[in-house]
A and B are shown apart, each in its own frame.
Chain A
């Protein structure tokens, strides 16, 4: 064995609590959720109450301002449990970071705390039926019209797609401009 040195003692304590939560609140129900095709929505709120969603979020938005190793601990424990129905990784590691890094103050105030609590579940919609690897080739458009964007197109393989309250949609705001015409819209 090569001992792992990346984690501190507090990460390992956190790990024990995540593991216990998964054993008590997730594993006994996962088989049923597989039949249902989705996990119980309430689980998101339970996980949020424990601080297992977006631990890196700023304290002013209800987060723990934890370093990414806490996300890694959650990812590892979820993976270890074999409970593949949990879309927490997409939510915490991928989508909410877009809000944290590129959102306006108004957007952050409106959404991040609810994402930490599990009241808002997020998803990201990049892939389309006609294009996945070639992200520059997306065809969904968002055309400005007065105070709105009007979105047309379709997206596929969207993790958390059923539970999602907030989706980051990758669209073309300037369909002629290739990558430079691509924008992210909530």
Chain B
């Protein structure tokens, strides 16, 4: 994410007119809670798209790259890894699309959105990690898209609420009376 202008901001006696208050005073927390599901689903949606891309790049790579005289795609381990990843991604995409339908209908709840973020970002990181592995040493080289995908994927489990915070939200809902 080197082209992202993520920054630190300092406020020292900054004056803003009262008309810059958004909504009502004291309601900020409620507004955040209201808006977070959309942010979290967006992260899940982006996780799926990034995962599809890196998986396809890896499939192309293993068909080209040879070791021990044949394409590494011919090794059973390679095919089994790809099979696992594709199976998980296919099923997660169906869940994500359903969440998107719910969001459009105004029916996506906070707990389900948290599941979308948790599932999407964790799966993305797992897929990208295995794809780096299938690239061998080149997977570690910045010139290869898979290396960038690896670096960029990691923050998905952190921003927009960490995976642990997602589990807190989901877990609390499960034990609530």
Contact = CB atoms under 8 A, between A and B. Distances in A.
Contacts of A171: 28
Contacts of A35: 2
B9 A155 contact: yes
Given A94-B38, A173-B25, A154 B100 contact: no
A174 interface: yes
Contacts of B162: 132-133
A75 B31 contact: no
Contacts of A72: 42, 45, 100
Contacts of B10: 154-155
B39 interface: yes
The secondary-structure label for the interface of chain A is mixed
B149 interface: yes
Contacts of B177: none
A161 interface: yes
Contacts of B145: 82
Given A37-B3, A168-B22, A79 B50 contact: yes
Contact of A80 (B1, B16, B50, B100): B50
A162 interface: yes
Contacts of B46: 75-76, 78-79, 89
Which bracket fits the contact residues of A? Answer: 35 or more
A58 B9 CA distance: 31
B83 interface: no
A153 B11 contact: yes
Interface of A: 1-2, 4-6, 30, 33-39, 67-69, 71-72, 75-80, 82-87, 89, 93-94, 97-99, 101-104, 106-107, 125-126, 129, 132-133, 135-136, 140, 142, 144-145, 147-163, 167-171, 173-174, 177, 179-186
Interface of B: 1-29, 31-32, 34-35, 38-39, 42, 45-50, 52-53, 90, 93-94, 97-98, 100-101, 103-104, 145, 148-149, 152, 159, 161-162, 164-165
